[in-house]
Amino acid sequence: MMHTLSLWYKHGWIRAIDLSLAEQLQQLGEPESVAFMAALTSFQLGQGHPCLELAQLYHNPKTTLNLPPEHAQQESLQACDDPAQVFAAQPQLGHLEQCLTQLQQSAAVNTNNSPLVLVGSRLYLRRYYDYEQRIKNDLKQRMQTQPKVNTLQLQQVLDALFGATDRISWQRTACAMAMRSLFTIVTGGPGTGKTYTVVRLLATLQKLREQPQPLRIRLAAPTGKAAARMTESISTELENLRAIPAVADVLAEGLATEAVTLHRLLGTVANTRQFRHNAHNPLYTDVLIIDEASMVDIEMLAAVVAALPAQARLILLGDKDQLASVEAGAILGQLCEGAEHGHYAPQLAQWLNATAASQIPAEKIDNNGSQWPYLQHTTMFHESRRFDAEKGIGKLAFEVNQQRAEWLQQWLRDSKIMAQQYPEFDNIHALPCSRADAAVIKQLVMDGYAPLQQLISARPTEQTDEALNQWAKAVLTQLGAFQLLTAVREGDWGMHAFNQRVTYWLHADQSQQHGWFIGRPVMVTHNDYGLNLRNGDIGVVLQRGAGEPLRVAFLNPQGDVRWILPSRLTNIDTAYAMTIHKSQGSEFDHTVMVMPPADAPILTKELLYTGITRAKSHFTLIFSQPQLVLKAVQRRVIRNGGLTDA
């Protein structure tokens, strides 16, 4: 088994840290089978799973581990056995019961400070087991803490904010739900009114606060881009509240509008995994609202709840159907599992009904709702103001999210005919292509980025800071008009190849010394606290005047332009194309999503749904084989973990 791990590492199937853990345990005298399982647990962590689900592993080892990897070369396929072959050839691995017995007898498992923790058939690295327990215990405590609420006063405030009506308003329900405990989730797709609700939720909390001084409210998001969008959206929506007399007093006190990244909120400590704010130095806040919570990993949320005072409210916003975080965990997806069905306990429905003239629909009430503890604090929005579920982008996203193949199959085959016959489908296009460098793709890209190129060329003749900043801001805004998204990073259909291809198409006649050239869009790939840049921030290379050095223009969360010399940027990628993962929290007028010609485990309905819902006005899907798209729709992201265990 150790020889197998060495071969897998040699051929890039597992990481050095996975092999190293197994070697250390073996040196400490642990059985080879225990060392092997430890390596697989570490490997699963790298795949986004906080633990190794042993029952799944023994049922289907190849699928559980997703080995061989999608990038495996023929040489490695010949040299290495896949997991199914390994399990079949190794009698030491035995059956699941034998494996569990060996782990239970090991000193490396379930002892004081042991590196591994076994819970049922789940095997954890201790640190991630501790993260999960910290989150579960904290959320349990916040859910059980129920502040005093005068339902009549709450109803009056909500009537002023939402209007008195006997029609169910889930946005209103979310505000009422947030008053009932110290933990709330608001989930829904794009355009379902999450920002609209948050502003009214902030006003409700301030209006009905028990303390005389205003609540200290903090807003945060996982990335700089998401934080900037949250700041902009809340500031815009706040203006709509100023005409409501009932909340004029709390608006005069000022509502929080500026969002920061979670790293900035907690205060990173250089060269460590620690944060300045923790259980011993908690945040100075009464309410914390986190947007784009689907992107928050288990380690980050554990750090957040550790630093959040016990009496503070925690409110998570996000789309449970989007991709999970890049790092380990699928927090929002697990907490919101089943949210589309409500599963509200009768006593909760009765309390919510007392705050409104409308009634919670009977189909959302579950006599066994107590078996869904997190859903008793969750509101899901279904109706999108941006997308019609029967038209265009909304219809496509709905069909993918519901994993329905019949309509999708027809659209993939006849999208042009459908667009001609039905105007409601003229903003979604299926473009079959057998080559990534096909002329039709080149023309699509050239047309899509033409307005950007023209704007970059129109440098103002007036060389004042104000004029140059306005020009840079217009260029950065235009970057949101057209975007290529790829499902994978590597290969001919991956992000890197498309960035090289598009760069050549658009800038073949321009000097590209050291990779820097006028008009190059770039994305920050790691947080840079020295420059106050965050992972996901987008900039563009511009020249302020003839003969001046190139600079990269970025927008800060307040909408001001910053000019940074390229030599100071160390972790960046060209951003003509970005992965769908990296696009989370962004929106583009016209989104073009590229699917690879070979199947891979990463191709899931969550990936497609996330890519489709990045589009605001137009969406184009480029693919080579329709059956691979349909296969991806039928595959779901399943991340293991015990967050929702009783």
Q: Give every CB contact of residue 210 below 8 A, 6+ residues apart in sequence.
A: 147, 148
107: tokens are: 């000193």
Backbone φ, ψ for residue 210 (5° rounding): -85, -30
Q: Is 194 annotated as a binding residue?
A: yes
Q: Give every CB contact of residue 443 below 8 A, 6+ residues apart in sequence.
A: none
256: tokens are: 């929080």
Residue of 223, 227, 418, 185 lying closest to 315 (CA atoms):
185
Q: Is 423 annotated as a binding residue?
A: no
Residue 183 and residue 140: Cα distance in Å, rounded?
9
Specify the amino acid at residue 421. Answer: Q
First to last CA, the chain: 35
Which H or E run contains 464? none
Task: Please tell me what DSSP assigns to residue 576.
Answer: S
Residue 119 and residue 133: Cα distance in Å, rounded?
12
Residue with tokens 């292509």: 433
Q: What is the DSSP string of 375-416?
A: GGGEEEE---SS--TTSHHHHHHHHHHTT--HHHHHHHHHHH
Q: Give every CB contact of residue 268 below 8 A, 6+ residues apart in sequence.
A: 275, 276, 527, 529
Residue 281 and residue 140: Cα distance in Å, rounded?
22
Sheet holding 615-623, edge to edge: 428-432, 615-623, 588-594, 482-486, 577-579
Query: b vs e for 158-184, b when ≥16 Cβ sit within 10 Å of the residue's Cβ?
Result: bbbbbeeeeebbbbbbbbbbbbbbbbb
Q: Is 642 annotated as a binding residue?
A: no
What are the residues facing 594 on neighbouring strands? 486, 622
Q: Is 442 annotated as a binding residue?
A: no
Q: Is 193 annotated as a binding residue?
A: yes
Residue 49 and residue 65: Cα distance in Å, rounded?
10
29 and 108 Cβ atoms separated by less than 8 Å: no
Strand, coil or helix: 119: strand
Reduce the secondary structure of 514-530 to three states and give it as a string: HHCCCCCEEEECCCECC
Q: Is 188 annotated as a binding residue?
A: yes
CA-only gyration radius of the chain, Å:
26
638: tokens are: 């399943």
Specify the amino acid at residue 230. Answer: M
Tell me the residue ranges of DSSP E strands in 215-294.
217-221, 259-261, 287-290
Query: b vs e for 282-319, b when ≥16 Cβ sit within 10 Å of the residue's Cβ?
Result: ebebbbbbbbbbbbbbbbbbbbbbbbbeeebbbbbbbb
Specify the amino acid at residue 340. Answer: E
Which positions make up the binding site for ATP? 188-195
Which positions make up the binding site? 188-195
